[in-house]
């Protein structure tokens, strides 16, 4: 059952941080055999942000979290948990979350990372909301961050044109019973498709060696076509079922926030659901695929741009898919 039970969970503030450096498609076309036309037509991406040499995931995460904290006006000592979704942490351990928790001075909080491909976004929001709904925590800072530019083979045109760097954050807290809030948290996986998106080298199954370096095993490898087909086969029926669990139909959702991976994926799913594209938030063309950070960036810009407003009663559905293959959905009332 995907319906969140227990205490009400409110989204009180968002934040984001992206590197200053912008890389547009024309610049990429000077690095690999591609073109602005191909990238725009096949993906919808026009430019992405790339972290500078000394900018790590934790730096972006800390900046995004600080913005969410400032906007929420909460005392950092009242934060019970810091949860960070990432696939490109500074180090495997310690977690990025621990670095954030230390840097912001949330002295009473715990901290952990969620690593679940791009769906880490929905998973982290869901785990945080469940912890609040159950009464375990009152206030949780959730962040999605990626510096995937370091894990990309810049000679592979099938992947390097897709990804970008950035971080987004959300402050969640317990609300009053009558408050609007989180309605659905759903997390799914089809691990039989584990080989669709991988980063095989550098850990226990393939420790770093001269061979793993020579064979480029430390970079993202993706069966892009299979991922694309997976989304069109699985997501429409799945999202219909998730809405139905909450007593709604897709037409009841006011704002759709898809994992910003490919404009054609989002258009295909919305078409199959019979939902108009103007209900979808889309900032993919400016940031590319920022993996576990993407829905956080879109959510933050939706609030900043006024397409989602607090206490509006708007129903917002956030959905993602990624390595695993994992997928999930999160619905809340703004």
Kindly state the DSSP code that residue 12 receives in the 8-state scheme.
E
Nearest approach, Cβ of residue 224 and ligand ACO (Å): 3
Nearest approach, Cβ of residue 186 and ligand ACO (Å): 18
Nearest approach, Cβ of residue 320 and ligand ACO (Å): 9
Cβ-based nearer residue to ligand ACO, 19 or 117: 117
Cβ-based nearer residue to ligand ACO, 38 or 112: 38
Tell which phi-psi region holds residue 54, choosing left (phi > 0), alpha (psi between -120 and 50) or beta: alpha
Burial class (CB in 10 A: 0-12, 13-18, 19+), 203: exposed
**Do residues 261 and 293 make contact, with C-beta atoms less than 8 angstroms apart?**
no
**Do residues 119 and 259 make contact, with C-beta atoms less than 8 angstroms apart?**
yes
Positions that interact with ligand ACO (CB under 6 A): 34, 38, 42-43, 87, 117-118, 157-158, 161, 197, 224-225, 227-228, 261-262, 265, 289, 291, 322-323
Q: Which residues are catalytic?
A: 118, 259, 289
Cβ-based nearer residue to ligand ACO, 202 or 224: 224
Structure tokens at 48: 């992405």
Cβ-based nearer residue to ligand ACO, 82 or 323: 323
Rg (the chain; Cα; Å): 19
Cβ-based nearer residue to ligand ACO, 257 or 265: 265
How many separate helices (H) and strands (E) can be counted in the chain? Answer: 11, 14
User: Strands, DSSP E only, in the chain?
Assistant: 9-17, 22-24, 47-49, 81-85, 110-114, 139-146, 166-174, 182-189, 197-198, 221-222, 255-258, 280-281, 315-322, 326-333
In sequence order, the 6+-apart residues with CB closer than 8 A to the CB of 172 are 9, 10, 11, 12, 125, 128, 129, 132, 139, 140, 141, 142, 182
Nearest approach, Cβ of residue 323 and ligand ACO (Å): 4
Nearest approach, Cβ of residue 60 and ligand ACO (Å): 17
Structure tokens at 328: 């999930």
Cβ-based nearer residue to ligand ACO, 101 or 159: 159
**Do residues 323 and 115 make contact, with C-beta atoms less than 8 angstroms apart?**
no
Nearest approach, Cβ of residue 120 and ligand ACO (Å): 9
């Amino acid at each position: 059952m995907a319906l969140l039970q227990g205490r009400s969970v409110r989204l009180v503030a968002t934040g984001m941080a992206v590197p200053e450096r912008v890389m547009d498609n024309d610049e990429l076309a000077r690095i690999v055999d591609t073109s602005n036309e191909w990238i725009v037509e096949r993906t919808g991406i026009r430019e992405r942000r790339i972290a500078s040499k000394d900018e790590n995931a934790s730096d972006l995460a800390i900046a995004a979290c600080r913005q969410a904290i400032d906007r929420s006006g909460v005392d950092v000592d009242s934060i019970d948990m810091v949860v960070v979704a990432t696939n490109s942490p500074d180090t495997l351990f310690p977690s990025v979350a621990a670095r954030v928790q230390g840097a912001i001075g949330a002295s009473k909080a715990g901290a952990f990372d969620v690593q679940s491909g791009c769906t880490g976004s929905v998973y982290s929001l869901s785990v945080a909301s469940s912890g609040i709904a159950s009464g375990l925590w009152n206030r949780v800072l959730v962040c999605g961050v990626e510096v995937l530019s370091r894990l990309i083979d810049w000679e592979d045109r099938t992947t390097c044109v897709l990804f970008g760097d950035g971080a987004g954050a959300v402050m969640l807290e317990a609300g009053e019973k009558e408050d609007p809030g989180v309605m659905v948290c759903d997390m799914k996986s089809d691990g039989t498709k584990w080989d669709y998106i991988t980063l095989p080298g550098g850990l226990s199954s393939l420790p770093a060696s001269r061979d793993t370096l020579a064979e480029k095993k430390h970079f993202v490898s993706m069966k892009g076509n299979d991922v694309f087909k997976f989304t069109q086969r699985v997501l429409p029926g799945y999202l219909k079922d998730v809405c139905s669990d909450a007593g709604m139909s897709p037409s009841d959702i006011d704002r759709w926030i898809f994992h910003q991976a490919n404009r054609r994926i989002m258009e295909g799913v919305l078409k199959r659901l019979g939902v108009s594209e103007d209900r979808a938030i889309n900032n993919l063309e400016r940031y590319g695929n920022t993996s576990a950070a993407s829905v956080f960036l879109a959510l933050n810009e939706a609030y900043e741009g006024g397409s989602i407003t607090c206490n509006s009663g708007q129903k917002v559905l956030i959905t993602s898919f990624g390595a695993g293959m994992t997928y999930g959905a999160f619905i809340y009332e703004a």
